A and B are shown apart, each in its own frame.
Chain A
């Protein structure tokens, strides 16, 4: 496939997901309501508990990361879910399109939505709680956001793989998956407070390292050496594995007939 054809296929998915997004009120709700509610409620809780500005920032950056990851990973999951819901899976996979076009196209839309959320919550955090999200500098914020988007891509692609293997039964995982990140990646607390087995799992999640790196710039002692490099390295490994899993799931669905069943 030529580079131009690759770009066109990705662009087709970008346009499709964008059009579906802007015409769906629920998507807007998802984009604005929950993230704003999350930051407001957590911010107010930090005020009630009388946390220091640094501690509040620690928790708020986790809340914002969770919202960004959630919105972006859902968009990636829509790469498959939109076709499952509309029963157009067979049309999709009869066309010369690879899973990479679907996931990258949906991811680009997810990044755009994630950036909107990030800016919105940064403004809200500053206005309501005096939290300067951009204070550590553009490079740090950039690496942090890249980490969030990579984590979202990995989780979203895995959701696509699960939906392709188990059909709509796996749909709930699209919404539940982010809660695993919530518990394990140290959204509201450092991973050192987790029980040892869970801490081990936390160390396998890229977002853990990106949060650690960002928080180090807020004055918290880093828990990991070279967290950004570790986060990117883990992300690269998981990205390849997730992509392979989705590809294998599609091939399996071609063998089992699930690809057709999901179109009935």
Chain B
């Protein structure tokens, strides 16, 4: 039990502020410079659509797998889950499991088939055998909605990280930092296209993984490699005591919170396979086997990562203590950085700070390129120009969209700074699971599925999600709601997944069987052959 002495030594005078802001900025600056150099070097040509959207399909499965985990492990995963475990214990761990198991859906049902059927966007797959314009419009709508929600959550989180790590406490100062982060991100996407963005994600994933593994080994070593001893210490330093080792601290309070947890779990496990920025990554590899290998590598790196966050989360409770974490500027989100300070001083703290920033940067870059691809490819090239746009102009539109989306992200991040937006990530998963997964699966596996079914499924899922959220305690009627003062909440759960996911499956089914339109049998056959064998791509 060395922890109490460590705590005594670090009777932090400036409570809540940890580390040296200058050092933190320097380490982050080094990361940005290295990635900018790499992006500049790899992005010799980005003029064709295949280059800009899919890096010419030139990445290996291993590279793409690491980039996938870089894309998927957001700030919410790193800071959020470690913090949730440190404060609420076991219930935080439940998130990690959902995030990981979800990849089996990708592995078994989605990755290879999507890579074989489409070229650049989710709309390519969904519109393959349907009427192009309405289906592409629906796919673009859901891609843009999901990406923007996801992005907003990341950028709003950036404000908290800035406050904690750079010691910038005025809203104006934070806005400047958020804007700088956003501009760097736009630069990555514009100059690097998918290739540069992928490299940023790979570098970030490797640094993040090294960082959490080293912290984990160190933590376990401190407790004589006895996880049980670490758990005991974690319980001793948490105000909730032994209870943090058991499920139910956060979700077990009332039957409603329990149901909310089940709803969230469904959204997590079914959402990952419908996230547009994840789907788009499967186009960066040359064939289905490499797509399969991507998922294998993603599962491998993420297993390591989530086991490490379990140790880090409980370790933060053990060495920092729940009270000090909650007293700090970043609250829950500061658990991992505070722990880093505790075990590695200002240097490790600086590294963790840089990793947290890099995480936000890389994830937002991935979202931006996805949103811009969907707008340029689905809306501009296929809806407005009816598939006859020349590729140079399409890429120009994509770049322009990336700038607009990036600026929106900056503005949104500044406005949402400090708001309770953690639900947005879970919500993006619920949207992805409801609007995209049902239609993708029907499209790939059900021959009769037709245009009207696709539209019903997507809009039914999206619509029911939006409606349920609008009338949920997230928006009104609870202390943490966005709107205070009025209470118009009718739906008790903050995550709509448990209703909206089945709704979208039922809508997709009904829309198909109730319409008189026949699915095109020749196209259905072609899609079946292409998706399984990759012929034609």
- The answer to whether A and B assemble together is no
Q: Which positions in A face B, CB cutoff 8 Å?
A: none
- Give residues in B with beta carbon < 8 Å to A: none
